[in-house]
Structure 1
Amino acid sequence: MNQLWGYLIVEELVRNEIDYFVISPGSRSTPLTVAAAQNSQANKIICLDERAAGFHAIGYARATGNPAVLICPSGTAAANYLPAVIEASIDNIPLIILSSDRPPELRQTGANQTINQVNLYGDYPTWQFDLPCPTAEINPNVVLTTIDLAVSRARQAPGGVVHLNCMFREPLAPTDAQVEIPASLVKWHEGRFSIGEAPPTPYTRYADKLTIPTPDEIQSLIETIASTAKGILFVGQLKSPAESQAVIKLAERLNWAVFADVQSGLRLRQDVPNLIHYFDRLLLTDSALELEQIDTIVQIGTKIVSAQWFKWIEKYPPTNYIALADNPDRYDPNHLVSCRIESDITYLCDRLCQQLPQLSPSTWVQKLRSASDRIGITAAKFLKTSKLTEPLIARTISELIPSQHGLWVSNSMPIRDLDMFGVGANAEESQSLSLRVGANRGTSGIEGAIASATGFAVGLQVPVTAIVGDLSSLYDLNSFALLQHNSQPVIVVVINNDGGGIFSFLPIAKSTDLFENYFGTPHGLDFQHAAAMFKLDYYNSLNYEEFIHDYLQAVDDRRSAIIEVTTDRAENLQLHQALNLDIQQKFE
C-alpha cells in the first residue's frame, strides 16, 4: 500500500504537469522517493541540505511560475524548510512540500525522529493536510483528489506553499507483496502514458481562475488616468515575461514617466518608453522638485528595493495612489494607497490598452529623462575612474551578461547596487530584451542565495550569473555542492568585503566600540578552498580589467564557477557617499 500511494502521489503530480522533484534522502520518505525515482516523466535532483533544497525550489518556481515538489524524511528535516516556506509564502511563490511522518501510534511516544509535524509551518502555507497512513480501508481516490486540490491551491492566485504531511508505516521499502488495484482506479491506471505522449488529464481537473475587476472599476481607473497631468507608472516585482510585455504596452499608451524596480524585468532594458533608469538617485537631486506635485501614481507589482522611493512618496504623497496586484495582500508600507485593484496583471493591462486613448508625452517627463541620462553619465565616469568596487561590479555585470542568461541577485548591497547603477545595453543590440532577474525579496534575507540561483537556472534552462555577498555565501556554503550536478551552469560572483557591508550605512556604525565585532563581523576567510572542495572553477579578480576577462572566460566555458572579488567595507561607504555627492553637485 505504501508503494501504491507513493506511486499515486507522484503520478498525479506529473499529470498536473508538475514534474520537478527536489529530494532529500531519508528512510521514512522511501515510498515517495522510490515513486519519484521510478517515474520516467519526473525530473529529480538530490539535495542533502533541506534548507538549500527549499531555496532551490524557490528559484525554480520563480523562473517557471510552476511549483517544485520537496520530498524529505521525518523529524527535523522538514523543519529546515521553514525559511524557504516563509519566503515563498510572503512572496506568493508556489511550492509543494511532501514531508514524511511516523504513524499516529508513534507520535508523542519518544519514538526516534518523531516530532509534531502537523501545522509545522504555522499560518504560512496556503493549504496543509495530514495525509493518513496508506491502508486498504481507504479508497486510493482520496490520494488523487487530495493531490489535485493541493496543486490548485499552490498555483491559483495568489499562490503559495502547500504542505502535505504523509504518514507511512513500515515496511517502507518496496516488497514483492501484490496489492490489488481497486476497480475505481483501473481506468485511471490504464491511462499511464509513455515518453513522447501527451499526459492524461488529472483525476480532478481544477479550472483556471482569472481574477478580473468589474467594468465599473476599470472605467473609474480610466477616468482617473485620463484626468492626470503628472503621472508615474511604478513597476515593482513582476512574475513573468508576459507581465513585463503587458506593462510595456501600457507604458506606451500612457506616456507617463516609468520608474522600474530591478526585479520588474524592465529596469535593464532600453526599449521601455519614458523609462527613468536612475530614478532612485534622481530623487537626491534638485530635479526631483519636478515630482513634488504628482497627480497619480499607478503601481504594478510589489517588493520594491528603493528605500529612497519610500522616503520620497512619504514626504510628497500623490493625489491618487493606485496599486494593481494579482493577490489580495496589502503592500503599502507608507499607508498611502487610495485605490487597490486585484486583477490578473496581463489581463488588466490589455484591457486598459484597449480602452485608454493614446496619451501625449509631456515636457516634464522629458526633463526627468534628461536628468536621468545625466546621472547615468556621471555614474559611469565616476565608477570607471575608481578601482574595482561593488557598484562597478554590479554595473559591469549588467553590461556584459548575455541576454539569453539569467541574473540572480543576493540581498543587502548587491541588489541595491544593481537597482541604483545597473544599465541596459544598447537597444539596437537587443542585449537585455530577454534577461530575467531574480531575487528573494519576500523577507529579504541573506540565506539561500546560491541555492536559489541554482533553481533559477534549472527553471529558466539557461546559465545564470549570481551576485552574492561573502556572508550570504558562507551562510549557504553547502549549496555549492548543487553546482556540481546542476543542469545549467551558475557563475557565482562573490563580493568579499570581510563582513556585513550594509551595516556600514546604518547609524550603529558610529558606535565604534561595538560595531566591528557585533555588526561588521569580520571573518577573514576566502573562497578558494571552497571552490576546490566542490570542484568548481575559481577566479580571483584583482582589478577591473581582470574581472572583465575572468567573467567573460567563465561565460565562454559554460561551467559553474566562483569569481571572488575582495573589497573594503569602509571604502565602499565612502565611495557611495562621494558618488551621491558628485551626482548632486551636477544639478546645483
Structure 2
Amino acid sequence: MTNPSTDLARAVMTALVEAGVREVVVSPGSRNAPLSFAALAAAGSGAVRLHTRIDERSGGFLALGLTRSGSRAAVVCTSGTAVANLHPAMLEAAHSGLPLVAVTADRPARLRGTDANQTTDHVGIFGRLVPTHDLSDPAQVEVSADADGPLHLNVQLDDPLLPDDAWAPATQPAQPAPRTDTDEHLLALGPRTVVVAGDDAGQRARQLAEAAGWPLLAEPTSGSRTGAHALRCYRLLLDTELGRRIERVVVFGHPTLSRPVTRLLGRDDIEVVSVRHRGVWTERPYPVAREASGVSVEEADGPAWLDEWRAADREVSQRLDALLAAEGELTPYDVAGAVSRALPAGAQLVVGASSPVRDLDLMVRPYPVGSRRKTIANRGLAGIDGTVSTAIGAALGRDSDAHTFALMGDVTFLHDSNGLVLGPDEPRPDLTIVVVNDDGGSIFAVLEQGAPEHAAGFDRLFGTPHGVDLGALCAATRTPHWRVESLPELEQALSSPHGGIEVVEVRVRRDNRRDLDARIRALATPTN
C-alpha cells in the first residue's frame, strides 16, 4: 500500500497525461518530491518527456515555450517563493490563452497560517486570472483536455514524501472537444477596409484579405504575414493621407506593436469589426462596432484600393532599404532583416519584446503562402521575461527537426541568462540565438523619455548600460558564442548553424537610435 502523498502525486500525473500533457518541467525541491518521482516514472514509461531546471522562473517559461509550440506542458515546483517565480509565465499564459499547468507542492492544510518552513498562502497566488484547484484527495484531481488558458494545481503533500513502490501511468489522452463558437459575420463591401492581424491571428486574416481584395496589415507574429496582400511597411503608411482614408478595420488576434495601429483603431471615424481571440481578456481597448468568431464576404472589392496600398508599400520599402544601405554600418534593422531572410521553409523564429520585434515588423517581407515559417513571441503581456527559456521550449516542442532561431536584445538576453543553465542529461534543441547588443535598452530612446530634455538621467533610468561580456557569460554555461561585426559575417553565421544551442552576438550603436527612428518614420512623407 502506497502512502497518501504518493497516491495524490500519481493521481495528478495521471490526470495531466490524460489531458494531453506531454512535457513536464521540474525544479528541485523537497516538498515536491512525490510529484517529481511521479514525473520521473511517467517519463520512464514514455508518457511524458521530463525536463529539469534549477530556476523556477526559467522553468515556467520553458514550459510556456513548449506549450506555445503546440506541445502542452506542466511545470512542477516546491512550496514558498518557488511558486511566486512561476507568476510571470502564468500571467503570459493567461493573456495568451495557453493551457499551461502549474503544479505546486504545498504543506498540508493543518500547517496553514503557521510559521512552518516555506509555508505561505499558495491558493490564488496567481490572482483571479488563473483558476486554482487546491488538492488533498486523489478523487479531487481533474484537468481539462480542452482548456483555453492556464491552470494551477496546488497539491497538499504530507510526510512521508518518498514512494515505496514502482509505478507507471496507464492512461490514454483525452481528445479536446471541438469548438462550437461559429457565429460568422457577413460583411458588406463598400467602406475602404483594411485587415489588421495582431499576434496569433492565424491564416484567417490572410484568407479574408484575399477573398475581399483588402490590404493586410500583419504583425510578424500574427501567423498571417504571407501572400500578396500583406504589406511590409504598413505602419509607416498609416499616418499618411492614404491611411487617413481608411473607413473600416477588421481586427484579428492581439495587435500590440504599433502606435500608428493603435491610433487607427481609436479613431472616431473608423468602424471596427473584431474577431474574437484567445486570452483571458478579449475586450478590445477601443470602440468595437461588431464582434464575431469569424468574418466573411461574398465577393471581392474592386482592385483600386489594394493597388494604392501596394504601390505605396513598394515605394516606402525601397526608400527604407536605401536609407539603411547608406548608413555604412550595421543597424538593428539590418540584423532583423538578415534573420528574416535566413529562415528556410519550415523554420521557426522566436522574437523578443521591445525593439527586436518592432525592427522585424519593418524588415520581414511577406513569405509565400504555405512555406510554414512560424514566428512566435510572448505578446500576451509583451514582457522580456524568460525569452531564452521560451525559445528553448519552443524549439524542443516542435514536431519537426527544422532549425529554430531567436532574435532578442541584450537586456532581454541578460534577463533570462539562467535559461542557458542546462544539466548534462537535458534535451537540447538546435537553436541559434541572435543577440542585438547595444549595451542597454534602446526602445526607450525612441519614446518620450528619450527626448533631449531628459538626457541627463536617461542612461541611469532607462538606457541602463551594463558592459557585460556576453562571450564570457556564454562560456560559463559552455554555450558556443560568436561575435560578428558585419552583415556578411552575420549572414554566414545564420546560414551555417553548428547544431545545439548557440549564441550569435551582433554589436550595434545605441546613441543614434532616436535619430534613425525619426528618419525612418519620415520616409512615408518625403519633402519635395
Calculate the TM-score normalised by the size of structure 2. Answer: 0.91
Distance 1:583 1:209, change over 3 A: closer
User: Are 2:20 and 2:72, in contact at CA under 8 Å, matched by a contact in 1?
Assistant: no
Q: Would you say the 8 A contact 1:20–1:68 is kept in 2?
A: yes
> How many angstroms apart in 1 are the aligned matches of 2:268 and 2:422?
47
Any conservation in 2 of the 1:290–1:364 contact (CA below 8 Å)? no
Amino acid in structure 2 at the alignment position of 1:175: D
The aligned residue for residue 21 of structure 1 is 24
Displacement of 1:249: 2.8
Unaligned runs of 5+ in 2: none
**Residue number among 467, 470, 478 corresponding to 2:418 in the alignment:** 478
Q: 2:357 aligns with which of 415, 420, 424?
A: 415
> Aligned equivalents of 1:490 and 1:34: distance in 2?
30
Rg bigger for which structure? 1
Q: Does structure 2 conserve the Cα–Cα contact (< 8 Å) formed by 1:398 and 1:424?
A: no
Over residues 63-103 of structure 1, what are the superposed CA-to-partner deviations in whole Å (9 max), with x where a residue is unaligned?
11x53111111111111001111111122221111100111
Structure 1 residues 110 and 517, CA gap change in structure 2 (3 angstroms): same
Q: Residue 493 of structure 1 corresponds to which residue in structure 2?
A: 434
Could you give the per-residue CA deviations for residues 42-70 of structure 1, whole angstroms, max 9, x where no partner exists? 11100111111111111122211x53111
Q: How does 1:153-552 map to 2 (within 5 A)?
A: 155-156=146-147, 159-175=148-164, 193=170, 200=172, 207-213=177-183, 218=184, 221-222=185-186, 225-238=187-200, 243-244=202-203, 246-267=204-225, 269=226, 271=227, 273-284=228-239, 288-315=240-267, 317-318=269-270, 320-327=271-278, 329-333=281-285, 335-341=286-292, 343=293, 348=294, 352=296, 356-386=297-327, 387-424=329-366, 427=368, 433-461=371-399, 462-482=402-422, 485-509=426-450, 510=452, 511-552=454-495
Deviations 1:395-414 (A, max 9, x none): 11111122222101111100
Conserved 8 A contact 1:259-1:279: yes
In structure 2, give the amino acid aligned to 1:163. Answer: H
Q: How far apart are the structure 2 equivalents of 1:297 and 1:546?
A: 42
Partner Cα distance (1:526, 1:361) in 2: 56
Alignment match of 2:118 (pick from 113, 116, 123): 113
Question: Aligned equivalents of 1:55 and 1:317: distance in 2?
Answer: 41
Aligned residue for 1:262, secondary structure, equals coil
Letter of the 1:174 counterpart? P
Paired position in structure 1 for 2:93: 88
The answer to whether the Cα contact below 8 Å between 1:3 and 1:174 also exists between their aligned partners in 2 is yes
Q: CA deviation at 1:470?
A: 1.0
Structure 1 residue 331: Cα displacement: 4.2
1:211 aligned partner, one-letter code: D
Q: Which residue number in structure 2 is paired with residue 70 of structure 1?
A: 75
- Cα deviation, residue 564, structure 1: 0.8
More helix as a share of residues: 1
Is 1:60 matched with 2:66? yes
Relative to structure 1, is the Cα distance of residues 32 and 460 closer, same or farther in structure 2, using a 3 angstrom cutoff?
Answer: same
Structure 1 residue 172, shift from structure 2 partner: 0.4
For residue 48 of structure 2, what is the aligned residue in structure 1?
A: 42
CA contact (8 A) 1:256 1:361 kept: no
**Is contact 2:254-2:277 (8 Å) kept?**
no
Comparing 535-544 with 475-484, which one deviates more in the overlay? 475-484
CA distance in 2, matches of 1:227, 1:82: 45
Gaps of 5+ in 1: 135-139, 180-188, 194-198
Q: Does 1:561 align with 2:502?
A: yes
> Share of identical aligned residues, percent?
26
Per-residue deviation, 1:498? 1.0
For residue 38 of structure 1, report the CA deviation from its aligned partner.
0.8
**3-state SS of 2:320 partner:** helix
Alpha-carbon spacing, 1:582–1:72, altered in 2? closer, same or farther (3 Å) = same
| Aligned residue number for residue 131 of structure 1 | 135
Report the CA distance shift for 1:483/1:374 in structure 2 as closer, same or farther (over 3 A). farther
Give the aligned residue type for 2:487: Y
Cα contact 1:306–1:419 (8 A) shared by 2: no
* Matched letter for residue 336 of structure 2: A
Instruction: Give the conservation status (yes or no) of the 8 Å contact 1:493–1:563.
Output: yes
Task: For 1:417 and 1:304, locate their aligned partners in 2 and report how far apart those are by CA, in whole Å.
Answer: 14
Deviations 1:119-172 (A, max 9, x none): 1112120x211101x5xxxxx4x14xx32xx324xx33xx21211110111110
Residue by residue, what CA displacement relative to the aligned partner does 1:524-578 show, whole Å, maximum 9, x if unpaired? 1120011111111111111111111122232xx2221111111121122222223
Number of matched pairs: 515
1:258 and 1:123 mapped to 2: Cα distance?
A: 36
Q: Secondary structure of the residue that 1:437 maps to in structure 2?
A: strand
Amino acid at match of 2:114: T
In the superposition, relative to structure 1, how do residues 207 and 565 fare at CA in structure 2: closer, same or farther (>3 Å)?
Answer: closer
Separation (CA, whole Å) in 1 of partners of 2:176 and 2:364: 42
RMSD of Structure 2 on Structure 1 (CA): 2.4
